[in-house]
Structures are given as C-alpha cells and as structure tokens.
Structure 1
Amino acid sequence: MLRIGAIVLHVSDSTRGSAFWSEALGYEYEANPDFLRPVGSASTRVHLDENDRTHLDLWTDSAEEQQEEVQRLVSLGAARVEWEYPDDADFVVLTDPAGNLFCVIDTSAE
C-alpha cells in the first residue's frame, strides 16, 4: 500500500531546522539527527536536507509494489524524471501534473 513515509524539507541549516521541527511537532530524533519521527509511532517522518528540494517520499513494501505504483501514478498524470540514480537506488523520481517532485521508495531495500 502506497503511503507517505517522509516529508523532505529543504533547510539551509539542518541542525537548526531539526531543533525547531522536533520541538514544533513533538518529534524525536532517529539515529540520523536529520530524520525526525513521531514519538512512539511509525507514522510519517520529517527528513531535513540542505541539498534536496522539498518533496514527498512515498513508501512501498517491495520492488514489485514500487513498480506497480509508479505505473499507476504515471497513468494518473505523473511523469518520470530524468535522474542520475546511484547503482543501489531504492527510489524512483516522478513529478505530479503541476511539476512537483516526489519519490516512490522501495522500503524493503533498507
């Protein structure tokens, strides 16, 4: 089932941003302090990034589900984005019909 796994926020200073957002939302730090999650929950996390644009990360449970969801989203009007993927990429970059980037991630690769 496709779900919002993370909201990636572009910040100029991830230390300052994570301090603010952890207090504002009552989220706790994960092992990587740029990742914040609700206390005691596996709900949507916040990922603070100094290099990436603000976007949604949509999570799937397998590579097969990822490909099915990518095809479904393209049929709904999303478009694939030319991207320089690393060899071990677990994500596919798409845009919505308005041009907003988002990623579909295979979480089984973690």
Structure 2
Amino acid sequence: MVTIGSVVLGVSDVPRAAAFWREALGYVPREEMEDDWVVLVPAEGTGVQLSLGLSETPVQQHPRVHLDLYAADAADQAAEIERLVSLGAQHVDWDRYPEDPDFVVLADPDGNRFCVIDTSHG
C-alpha cells in the first residue's frame, strides 16, 4: 500500500513561493532550499509535505488539482483570507462559484489556485 508523501506545486520562483507557503502554513524547509526545489514540512512535525519545484508551465485557469485550506467557520475564513492576501495571495475572479459557496478561490504569488473553505458552512 502506498501513501501520499508530498503534494507538489510547480512555481516560477521557488524562493518567493517558499516564503509565501512557509508563512501561509507555518511550514519549514525539510532540508536546505535549492534554487529549483524545496520540500516544506509542518513545523510541528506531522502532516502533509508541500514540495515546490521550478516549472515553466503556465498556470491553469481551471486547474485539475489544487489545495483546499480549511477554516473553522466564516469568521476564521475571512481572517485567513485577509492574512493570506497580506502575504501576497490574490483573489481570483472565479467563474464557477455555486450559489452560497463555502469556499473562496485565491492564487498564490505564482498564480496557483487554492481554496479557503469554511468547514462550518451548511
């Protein structure tokens, strides 16, 4: 049986992406960061790894894979969105929101889409 060891994101600037995701998630580099690759791990020691690799592939407007970041409720979601935007995330003009969504789509500094989910939403 295999397990997921790491989620990998392609980025155009590894140091910039690492700085954003370190602050966003409270992660630290597993080993010394290289110009084209870094693996970030939870500072607390357990959880999903996030690997960032140099990529020249353009960002997909509607990516097939993305990260979902969970917030406890609507107030926590709003606070996290504000914090993430202050770190360099951007709101995405998402054309696929359902009525009464429980998520907000953001993009990291490289344009990779991710969602902030209100897990208490009906």
**TM-score band w.r.t. shorter chain:** 0.5 to 0.7
Runs ≥4 residues deviating over 4 A: none
| Identity between Structure 1 and Structure 2 (%) | 55
Indicate which of 85, 100, 108 corresponds to 1:74: 85
- Alignment correspondent of 1:87: 99
Unmatched 5+ residue regions in structure 1? 1-22, 27-42, 45-50
Unmatched 5+ residue regions in structure 2? 5-46, 49-61
Letter matched to residue 2 of structure 2: A
Give the SS at the match of 2:94: coil
* 1:41-87: CA deviation from partner (whole Å, max 9, x where unpaired): xx77xxxxxx8521110000100100110011001000000013111
Q: How many equivalent pairs are there? A: 66
- Alignment correspondent of 2:12: none
Distance 1:100 1:93 in 2: 10
Q: Larger % of helix: which?
A: 1
- Alignment correspondent of 2:66: 55
RMSD between aligned residues: 2.1
